[in-house]
């Protein structure tokens, strides 16, 4: 879950999609959610700074580190963006899910992730 404190559409997804009947049970029972706030201004200890492979700049805040991870690893910088990974960090669904206020569409995305995980890790 690439998100942001200032991301209005992220809050809309959490309040109006995540909380619905077709979605909430899947999130609670089938997924581990890692919410990475790309605008988090928490300063990192110098030992945790990273030099971006994307732009060559040193990332000194938690948010800039997460934003760099998103663009370096997944080739995009948009929020909200939902990417389903397995426990090895491998992407299970090629296309991320972006803002869409339809709970059914999001539940289909989540169910597809479960199906692909189960098929891969029988």
From edge to edge, which strands make up the β-sheet containing 81-82? 36-37, 2-3, 81-82, 97-98
100: confidence class by pLDDT, cuts 50, 70, 90? very high
The set of residues, in sequence order, having a beta carbon less than 8 Å from that of 105 and lying 6+ positions away, is 97
Residue 23's pLDDT is 98
Mean pLDDT, residues 81-95 taken together: 96
Instruction: Report the CATH architecture of 2-120.
Output: 3-Layer(aba) Sandwich (3.40)
Whether the predicted pLDDT of 36 surpasses 90: yes
State the average pLDDT over residues 55-67. 97
Mean confidence (pLDDT) of the chain: 97
Rounded Cα distance between 64 and 57, Å, is 10
pTM of the entire predicted model: 0.91
pLDDT at residue 122 is higher than 90: no
Of the candidates 35, 42, 47, the residue with the CA atom closest to the CA atom of residue 10: 35
């Amino acid at each position: 879950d690439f998100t942001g404190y200032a991301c209005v559409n992220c809050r809309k997804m959490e309040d109006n999609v995540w909380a619905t009947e077709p979605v909430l049970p899947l999130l609670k029972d089938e997924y581990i959610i890692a919410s990475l706030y790309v605008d988090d201004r928490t300063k990192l200890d110098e030992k945790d700074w990273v030099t971006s492979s994307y732009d060559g700049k040193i990332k000194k805040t938690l948010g800039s580190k997460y934003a760099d991870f998103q663009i370096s690893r997944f080739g995009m910088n948009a929020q909200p963006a939902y990417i389903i990974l397995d426990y090895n960090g491998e992407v299970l669904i090629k296309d991320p899910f972006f803002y869409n206020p339809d709970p059914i569409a999001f539940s289909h995305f989540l169910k597809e992730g479960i199906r692909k995980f189960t098929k891969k890790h029988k």
